[in-house]
Amino acid sequence: MKKKQPERVSEAVNRKRDVITKNLRPEAVAPEYDEALHIMEEYLRSQNKRCTIERRFVLQALYQLNSPVDISTLHKIVCTDEGNVALTTVYNTLDLLVQLKLAKRLELVSRGMTFFEKTLGQEPHGFVICEQCGSIKVLRKLQVLQKFESQLPKGFLPEDYTLQIHGLCAKCQRANAKRKNKKPTK
């Protein structure tokens, strides 16, 4: 019985890493990526775990996006025809990023969906969520959040908050109106 040669295993691993690395686009990544990568690497090192190229790729993909993303979409982004990142790795890496406060988990309970977004370098913002199609639009520069902050008890330091406005987008309203032969509401 012949043993597998270590060189071949190493070559296969190197080919997979080359494919994944080829798809990394550093020019498209937010400047906060380097800080996030450093935090993740330091934590993993302290836990005697490796910061694999697959973990880096998930982090980089998340930090390239400027809007929340679901796991399925993120998984498609980090996979290519020649090299795949396991779905389990995407789940585990996102859990790690949430634990390290490098990502935020957004639950869309009515649709049974979970979205993730980067946290470093993000200005306070909210979300408009369509309950019918699940589309999410990010609301930037919200002055209402500043009013909430002024209402907090003295000395209270908020770590996180989320503003979500649920309803129906214009497209879904039009589709519903066509089905009911009514005009959409404004």
Judge whether 61 and 77 are in contact, CB under 8 Å: yes
| 41 and 113 fall within a common domain | yes
Please say which residue of 119, 146, 170 terminates a domain: 119
Residue 84 is part of which domain span?
1-119
Percent of the chain with pLDDT over 90: 27
The tally of domains found in the chain comes to 2
Angle at 176 between CA 172 and CA 177, to 5 degrees: 115
Judge whether 131 and 110 are in contact, CB under 8 Å: yes
Entry pTM: 0.70
Convert the pLDDT of each residue in 111-151 to its tens digit.
677 889 999 988 778 888 888 887 788 887 666 667 777 78
DSSP per-residue string spanning 9-33: HHHHHHHHHHHHHHT--GGGS-THH
Residues 6+ apart with CB under 8 A from 99: none
| 107 and 142 fall within a common domain | no
| pLDDT given for residue 6 in this prediction | 39
CATH number, domain of 138, equals 3.30.1490.190
| 175 and 96 fall within a common domain | no
| 113 and 162 fall within a common domain | no
| 150 and 178 fall within a common domain | yes
Please say which residue of 119, 138, 169 terminates a domain: 119
Phi, psi of 52 (to 5 degrees): -70, 160
CATH number, domain of 67, equals 1.10.10.10
pLDDT mean across residues, the chain? 79
